[in-house]
């Protein structure tokens, strides 16, 4: 297949603004090309995705959907980068040199305008239900073709309602295991890998650090300084270090030295790529029983799944983390979430979309 990737419109690839979708795109591009497919990526200007060919498009970036009220219309700014990227995709599709578009943009536009494209459009949805407008767009696409929409987890699909949950394809995610080094003997530090924002649960992360009296290393873009300051004010004695956003190579080197990754998200995570990144390094994951991470972690074997919003339970799980076999964590990623298996699942879905 000759595949056009339509990127997220919230920031350039490589900046960290797009969150897990950036890793998803890179992993898939690598995996699909190894399986003999061709990939071209249409993305905002200044994007980087390894050595993959990128058509860079200028325009005004979009406001991330998770920062908006769900009843608010998805705003399309003047000179929208998404509109410009979509027009570029439509032109590429007319050339006859491509077979399918794989849309990663969490926005209604590629869904409702898919009929403008001369080739089929498939949508890999990166987040759960956040917008009434997006819900309608996903439902429309799911009704239009049995294989038009894929998601990462059953929990994510369920947020869009029973119809979507029944009709979407679940492809999970994956990582290139060779990019992650196994660490057998960690420090006592905990890790938190996410944008600094309310929905990612930075306040709960500070609270866990305070309760466990362990150092918490925070990896991620400082999206909301007020939320960080509020978390600090609520837990003034917590030992928390903001490392910032790091590319995969640097992130895994530091993440691997941590005793555990804590995932204390306040929303339904679609999947949680950072969970499988941590496991690939041998780092157990402690997660709330909410969203995709709870489908990744094997409770008691590769980490712990605790009741949502229960900081005390997270802190208690931290004290049991030494009982987790770090080699089993890495082996679980090899078995379930390798780049090869992820690409194979997406390939099967795209073939069905073209049928």
Per-residue pLDDT averaged across 211-238, rounded?
A: 96
pTM: 0.89
pLDDT given for residue 237 in this prediction: 95
Percentage of residues of the chain with pLDDT beyond 70:
98
Average pLDDT over the chain reads 94
Percentage of residues of the chain with pLDDT beyond 90:
88
Q: How far is CA 254 from CA 24, 69, 182, 228, in A?
A: 20, 35, 11, 21
Identity of the highest mean pLDDT range in 69-73, 129-133, 230-234: 230-234
Per-residue pLDDT averaged across 130-153, rounded?
A: 93
- Quick one: how far is CA 203 from the chain centroid? 21
Q: What is the DSSP string of 59-115?
A: SBPPPPGGGS-TTS-----TTBHHHHHHHHHHHHHHTT--SEEEE---SHHHHHTGG
- Quick one: how far is CA 114 from the chain centroid? 23
Cβ atoms < 10 Å from Cβ of 254? 16
- Interatomic CA distance for residues 173 and 196, integer angstroms: 23
Per-residue pLDDT averaged across 327-348, rounded?
A: 97
**Which tens digits make up the pLDDT trace of 49-74?**
988 999 999 999 988 766 667 776 76
pLDDT given for residue 67 in this prediction: 66
Per-residue pLDDT averaged across 23-47, rounded?
A: 96
Helix or strand or coil: residue 172? coil
Q: How far is CA 39 from CA 34, 86, 228, in A?
A: 11, 16, 38
What b-and-e string marks burial along 92-112, b requiring 16 or more CB atoms within 10 Å of the CB? bbeeeebbbbbbbbbbbbbbe
pLDDT given for residue 166 in this prediction: 87
Q: What is the DSSP letter of 15?
A: S
Per-residue pLDDT averaged across 153-177, rounded?
A: 93
- Quick one: how far is CA 31 from the chain centroid? 17
**Which tens digits make up the pLDDT trace of 283-314?**
999 999 999 999 999 999 999 999 999 999 99
Six-digit token string for 257: 């030295």
pLDDT given for residue 66 in this prediction: 67
What domains are there in the chain, each with its CATH number? 2-174+338-354 (3.40.50.2000), 178-336 (3.40.50.2000)
Per-residue pLDDT averaged across 256-270, rounded?
A: 96
3-class secondary structure per residue, 210-265:
HHHCCCEEEECCCCCHHHHHHHHHHCCCCCEEECCCCCHHHHHHHHCCCCEEEECC
């Amino acid at each position: 297949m000759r595949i056009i990737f339509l990127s997220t419109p919230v920031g350039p690839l490589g900046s960290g603004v797009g969150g897990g979708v950036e890793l998803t795109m890179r992993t898939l591009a690598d995996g699909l090309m190894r399986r003999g497919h061709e990939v071209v990526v249409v993305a905002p200007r200044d994007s980087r995705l390894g050595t993959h060919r990128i058509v860079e498009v200028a325009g005004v970036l979009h406001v991330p959907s998770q920062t908006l009220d769900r009843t608010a219309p998805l705003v399309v700014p003047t000179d929208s980068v998404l509109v410009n990227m979509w027009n570029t995709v439509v032109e590429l599709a007319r050339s006859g040199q491509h077979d399918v578009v794989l849309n990663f943009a969490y926005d209604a536009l590629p869904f409702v305008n898919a009929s403008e494209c001369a080739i089929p459009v498939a949508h890999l949805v990166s987040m759960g239900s956040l917008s009434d407008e997006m819900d309608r767009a996903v439902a429309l696409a799911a009704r239009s073709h049995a294989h038009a929409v894929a998601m990462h987890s059953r929990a994510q699909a369920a947020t869009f309602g029973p119809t979507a949950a029944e009709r979407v394809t679940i492809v999970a995610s994956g990582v290139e295991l060779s990019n992650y080094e196994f660490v057998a003997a960690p420090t006592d530090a905990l890790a938190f890998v996410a944008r600094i924002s309310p929905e990612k649960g930075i306040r709960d992360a500070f609270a866990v650090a305070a309760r466990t009296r362990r150092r918490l290393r925070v990896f991620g873009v400082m999206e909301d300084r007020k939320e960080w300051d509020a978390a600090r004010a609520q837990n003034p004695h917590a030992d928390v270090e903001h490392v910032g956003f790091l590319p995969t190579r640097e992130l895994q080197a530091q993440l691997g030295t941590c005793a555990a990754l804590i995932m204390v998200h306040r929303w339904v995570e679609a999947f949680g790529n950072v969970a499988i990144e941590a496991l690939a390094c041998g780092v157990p994951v402690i997660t709330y029983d909410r969203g995709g991470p709870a489908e990744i972690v094997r409770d008691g074997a590769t980490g712990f799944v605790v009741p949502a919003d229960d900081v005390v339970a997270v802190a208690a799980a931290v004290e049991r983390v030494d009982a987790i076999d770090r080699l089993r964590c890495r082996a679980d990623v090899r078995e379930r979430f390798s780049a090869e298996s992820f690409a194979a699942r997406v390939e099967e879905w795209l073939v069905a979309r073209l049928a």
